[in-house]
Copies of this chain bind each other. A is one copy, B any other.
Amino acid sequence: MPSTAAPAALRTVTRRATRGDAYGYAEVVTFPVVGMVGGGQLARMTHEAGIPLGIRFRLLSGTPQDSAALAVRDVVVGDHNDLATLRDFARGCDVITFDHEHVPTEHLRALEADGIPVRPGPDALVHAQDKGVMRARLDSLGVGCPRHRIVRDPADVAAFAAEVADADGAGADGAAQDAGFPVPVVLKTVRGGYDGKGVWVVRTAAEAAVPFKAGVPVLAEEKVDFARELAACVVRSPHGQAVAYPVVESVQVGGVCDTVIAPAPGLPDDEAVQAQEMALRIAQELGVVGHMAVELFETPDGRVLVNELAMRPHNSGHWTQDGAVTSQFANHLRAVLDLPLGDPRPRARWTVMANVLGGDYPDMYSAYRHCMARDPQLKIHMYGKDVKPGRKVGHVNTYGDDLADVRERAAHAAGYLRGTITE
């Protein structure tokens, strides 16, 4: 299974060229400043990956106690929704990138107009910000998606449910709006959702009324009867080089990623390659720069449908920190700096990532002693966040040749840190 795309031809680099010539940076011989918008754990781990590159890292963080703000030297505390704050932050940066997708598109365009490279740019990023735009664009590319439609009210949802049932041959009966739908429907606000927030599964018109209360556009999607969830992660540079990581399996619990297995067990090579090629094609067509995760449903008959796009480092790529030659965070930085990308291939037969959620027992540090003594190969990644029930506060990575062993070690450590295992 190929996991590296053939790199595009690299431009010839003159050894003594000043950076100002080729890259549009200031005509100074120094390391660039990467401005990261958002102080979450993705920013924290991107900073960690940037330290070896010697680059300078500047953070725009909502509070001084955000995960990344605890570990970065150069922190600006401010609101990413405020254009003046963004402009002031960007002034000292050679490039701007993101920990999340919440910066308004018009602000990104304003930064670009100021001459600041924004990567990924607003035209790409909008596909990760607005699910309606994303679905329309993927349709135009012929990329497989769940059936979907922008809906205006519960009657629209009922009609959509009937159509889906009809197409599936599920015995649609033109159900009245107030009765149950013939098939359940997934409703999503087109902007602002994550980790199951902003997503509803509805079966009646009464249930379908809830998402409309916020007054934002709502996307209806068929509830795919998937066999499992996969993710295809790719990284793309402004000059067009791209790499694809192995396709992984993402095990969700309660709408939140619980475990990622790299590579996805039992996935036929041709399906894996197709998913990688599809992700690379989406990245190219949308002009993505940086890391992109394509969340996929694998259907029982072996097709894949795109669930979501994320244009930033992503939970489904955390395994790369310890399991790949180059982590998603290092490659994201290399991409936004238009540096040649690093090898995305795995270093172990199997790598498993398990998220650590907050539980009832807040002292995770004391649990280190057990976890580290039990498994000297365990890799713990904590985010410096306060422990709150259900909150993602860290993850663990394990790797090795025996998948059952690797999974057990990851699950044990994550469970012990959370407090659900107390052997």
Give the interface of A toward B (CB within 8 A): 4, 7, 10, 13, 15-19, 29-32, 44-45, 47-48, 51-54, 56-57, 69-73, 75, 321, 325-326, 334, 339-343, 347, 361-370, 372-373, 376-384, 394, 422
Contact A56 B29, beta carbon cutoff 8 Å: no
Inter-chain pairs besides A7-B373, A10-B369, A53-B382, 12 sampled, C-beta below 8 Å? A13-B373, A15-B367, A15-B370, A16-B361, A19-B365, A48-B52, A69-B73, A70-B73, A71-B72, A72-B73, A339-B369, A343-B377
CA–CA, A71 and B57, complex, Å:
8
Contact B380 A52, beta carbon cutoff 8 Å: yes
Q: Which residue of B lies closest to A370 (CB)?
A: B13
Number of copies: 2
Most buried by B among A4, A72, A339, A422: A339
Shortest CB distance A321–B (Å) = 8
Contact B52 A373, beta carbon cutoff 8 Å: no
Shortest CB distance A49–B (Å) = 9
CA–CA, A362 and B28, complex, Å:
11
Contact B369 A54, beta carbon cutoff 8 Å: no
Known contacts A13-B370, A54-B384, A347-B347; is-contact A376 B75 (Cβ 8 Å)? no
A-B CB contact pairs (8 Å), 18 listed: A4-B376, A13-B366, A13-B369, A13-B370, A13-B373, A15-B367, A19-B365, A19-B366, A31-B365, A31-B382, A52-B321, A53-B380, A54-B365, A54-B383, A73-B75, A340-B372, A342-B372, A343-B376
* Chain B hits for A30, CB < 8 A: 365
Known contacts A54-B383, A365-B30; is-contact A342 B376 (Cβ 8 Å)? yes
Shortest CB distance A334–B (Å) = 7
* Chain B hits for A341, CB < 8 A: 372, 376
* Chain B hits for A373, CB < 8 A: 7, 10, 13, 340
* Chain B hits for A321, CB < 8 A: 52
Shortest CB distance A71–B (Å) = 5
* Chain B hits for A10, CB < 8 A: 369, 373
CA–CA, A70 and B259, complex, Å:
35
One of B13, B18, B325 near A377 (C-beta < 8 A): B325
